[in-house]
């Protein structure tokens, strides 16, 4: 595409904001925007509009999520239980990760945080077609799949478990396997005090390092809205284990976020890094937990 003028960019700006430009157009618009403040303002307006449309169309679902969180809240007016979070207790014990599949694990605590937190990590690709990632589908496969097959696949979630054989190539051909990998985590608190973890999305980082790029499809994140991680706070009592599911595993390399998902069957090296921020009375400390590398024996 030749160098676009401001008029050209004005015609494309909404599609650009909606991540719907062709790659060549996108590149040209991006280059223009880098040098044109007026068009950047137009882009900001367009993004505001996209945001308002998201709010408009997702309001019902968002209110329903809020309602669920309100119900899960302690009833206001009751005296809250004393906060037993004791971050300094993190300084007590070396941390440990337990990873399913019996694979090697590495934990990298930062600072003097030494309270024991253990994680069990299991890769669990799941079919959740109702949470499709825009741009995340393997279009080539999808075009081959009949809608009936896809509907049937929607009704039958896939679960990958140790020892369970799934023909991934076949599932991909049916368009059944979601174009992403979710990760199941279990956070166990083997200490003697309760802990509170803040797992909000901005603090959360998960890396998937698949060593065989030929068998992996990656896509850049076009819209970070699709890096959801809803649970923001988690209280874990001593000895308690809480499950977490991190949807749409993303890899962050430098400042670039990429979705990676397994395209073909095989063995992969998987590395998961989770940044857990723990809060106490307004101050926070961070543990960086790394699980892996581990062999992921896909059938």
Partner 1 sequence: MDSQQQRDLVARAGRGDAEAFSALAARYYRPVAAFLLRRVSRPDVVEDLVQETFLEAYRSLGDGARPENFSSWLFGIASNRAGKWLRRKKPVLFDPDAPPTTPSTPSDLDARAELEEQQHRLAALDAGLAALPDDLRELLRMKHHRGLTCEQIAAELARPVGTIKSLLSRTYKLLRERLAPAGSDPS
137 binds partner 1 (CB under 8 A): yes
Of 221, 262, 278, 287, the one binding partner 1 by CB under 8 A: 221
14 binds partner 1 (CB under 8 A): yes
DSSP 157-226: --B--TT----HHHHHHTT-S-SS--EEEEEE--SSS-EEEE--GGG-------S-GGGEEEEE-S-GGG
User: What would the two tokens of residue 272 be?
Assistant: 């998961």
Q: If binding is defined by CB under 8 A, does position 44 make contact with partner 1? A: yes
3 is a contact residue toward partner 1 (CB under 8 A)? no
Looking up tokens 């209110």 gives 63
Helix or strand run (H / E) with residue 278: strand 267-280
Q: Check residue 152 for interaction with partner 1 (CB under 8 A).
A: no
Among 73, 112, 155, 281, indicate the residue that binds partner 1 (CB under 8 A): 73
Contact between 224 and partner 1 by CB under 8 A: the answer reads yes
**Stretch of 27-35, 91-99, 183-191, 209-217 contacting partner 1, by CB under 8 A:** 27-35
Query: Any contact of residue 148 with partner 1 (CB under 8 A)?
Result: no
Going by C-alpha positions, the residue among 287, 284, 283 that lies closest to residue 274 is 287
Strands of 250-253's sheet in order across: 216-220, 256-262, 250-253
The backbone torsions φ and ψ at residue 228, rounded to the nearest 5 degrees and listed phi first, read: -85, 145
Residue 173 contacts partner 1 per CB under 8 A:
no
**CA 286, CA 273: separation in Å to the nearest integer?**
13
7 binds partner 1 (CB under 8 A): no
Q: Which stretch binds partner 1 (CB under 8 A): 99-107, 113-121, 178-186, 198-206?
A: 198-206
Q: Which residues bind partner 1 (CB under 8 A)?
A: 11-12, 14-15, 18, 20, 30, 33-34, 40, 43-59, 62-63, 65-67, 69-71, 73-78, 132-135, 137, 139, 142-143, 200-203, 205, 220-227, 232, 252, 254-257
């Amino acid at each position: 595409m030749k160098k676009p003028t401001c008029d050209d960019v004005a015609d494309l700006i909404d599609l650009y904001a909606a991540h719907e430009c062709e790659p060549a157009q996108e590149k040209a618009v991006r280059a223009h925007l880098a040098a044109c403040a007026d068009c950047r303002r137009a882009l900001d307006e367009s993004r505001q509009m996209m945001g308002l449309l998201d709010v408009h169309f997702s309001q019902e679902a968002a209110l329903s999520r809020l309602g669920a969180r309100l119900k899960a809240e302690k009833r206001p007016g009751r005296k809250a239980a004393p906060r037993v979070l004791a971050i300094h207790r993190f300084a007590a014990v070396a941390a440990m990760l337990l990873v399913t599949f019996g694979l090697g694990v590495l934990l990298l605590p930062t600072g003097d945080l030494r309270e024991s937190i253990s994680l069990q990590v299991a890769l669990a690709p799941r079919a959740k077609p109702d949470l499709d990632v825009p741009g995340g589908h393997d279009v080539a496969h999808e075009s081959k799949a009949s809608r009936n097959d896809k509907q049937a696949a929607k009704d039958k979630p896939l679960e990958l478990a140790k020892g369970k054989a799934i023909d991934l190539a076949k599932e991909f051909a049916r368009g059944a396997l979601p174009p992403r990998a979710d990760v199941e985590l279990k956070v166990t608190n083997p200490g003697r005090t309760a802990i509170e973890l803040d797992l909000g999305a901005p603090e959360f980082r998960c890396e998937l390092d698949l060593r065989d790029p030929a068998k992996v499809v990656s896509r850049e994140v076009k819209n970070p809205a699709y890096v959801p991680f809803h649970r923001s706070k988690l209280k874990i009592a001593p000895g308690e284990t809480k499950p977490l599911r991190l949807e749409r595993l993303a890899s962050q390399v430098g400042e670039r976020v990429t979705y990676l998902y397994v395209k073909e069957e095989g063995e992969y090296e998987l590395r998961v890094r989770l940044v857990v921020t723990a809060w106490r009375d307004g101050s926070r400390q961070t543990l960086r937990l790394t699980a892996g590398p581990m062999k992921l024996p896909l059938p």
